[in-house]
């Protein structure tokens, strides 16, 4: 079976961090990435019918916290996985609390390409994102 291109919503207000992740996921993992620097806009688009397979959300966003965004997404689509990310060491402890509530996984930043692709594959074992 040919690998299906996964649609990933990626919310991170750190644009410099978002760009390389976008490139890695689109070009190395055959994913369609919809980047957002604003979590409120992401949720609005999902409320208006935007389809996706997985959301990656930064823990600390300027306009709304990552856990708040994750909670809103889970209300809309409880079956869609959400990965919470953060570059703050203390945030890992806090993020683990949210995994029990609304998030399905946590990735500490920075992470390398293989870790990111492996995290995606954990949710979609039948059609793995393959590094080209």
Mean pLDDT lowest among 3-7, 64-68, 124-128: 124-128
pLDDT in tens, 80-106: 999 988 876 555 555 555 555 667 888
The residue among 61, 41, 52 whose CA lies nearest residue 81 is 52
Mean pLDDT of 64-87: 88
The residue among 12, 100, 102, 92 whose CA lies nearest residue 56 is 12
Indicate left, alpha or beta for 30 from its phi (over 0: left) and psi (-120 to 50: alpha).
Answer: left
The residue among 104, 96, 94, 5 whose CA lies nearest residue 52 is 5
Check residue 8 and give its pLDDT: 94
The whole-chain average pLDDT of the chain stands at 80
Does 44 have pLDDT greater than 90?
yes
Q: Is-contact 105 96, C-beta < 8 A?
A: no
Mean pLDDT lowest among 15-29, 33-47, 59-73: 15-29
Does 54 have pLDDT greater than 80?
yes
CB atoms within 10 A of CB 132: 7
Check residue 1 and give its pLDDT: 40
- H-type helices in the chain, by residue range? 15-23, 39-47, 66-76, 89-101, 113-123
Q: Is-contact 55 82, C-beta < 8 A?
A: yes
How far apart are alpha carbons 121 and 98 in whole angstroms?
A: 21
């Amino acid at each position: 079976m040919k690998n299906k291109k996964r649609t990933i919503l990626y919310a991170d207000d750190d644009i410099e961090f978002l760009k390389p992740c976008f490139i890695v996921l689109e070009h190395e993992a055959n994913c369609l990435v919809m980047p957002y620097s604003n979590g409120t806009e992401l949720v609005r688009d999902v409320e208006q019918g935007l389809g996706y397979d997985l959301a990656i959300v930064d823990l600390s966003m300027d306009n709304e916290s990552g856990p708040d965004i994750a909670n809103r997404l889970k209300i809309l689509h409880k079956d869609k996985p959400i990965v919470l990310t953060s570059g703050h060491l203390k945030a890992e402890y806090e993020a683990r609390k949210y995994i029990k509530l609304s998030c399905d996984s946590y990735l500490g930043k920075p992470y390398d390409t293989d870790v990111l692709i492996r995290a995606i594959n954990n949710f979609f074992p039948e059609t793995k994102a393959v590094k080209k």
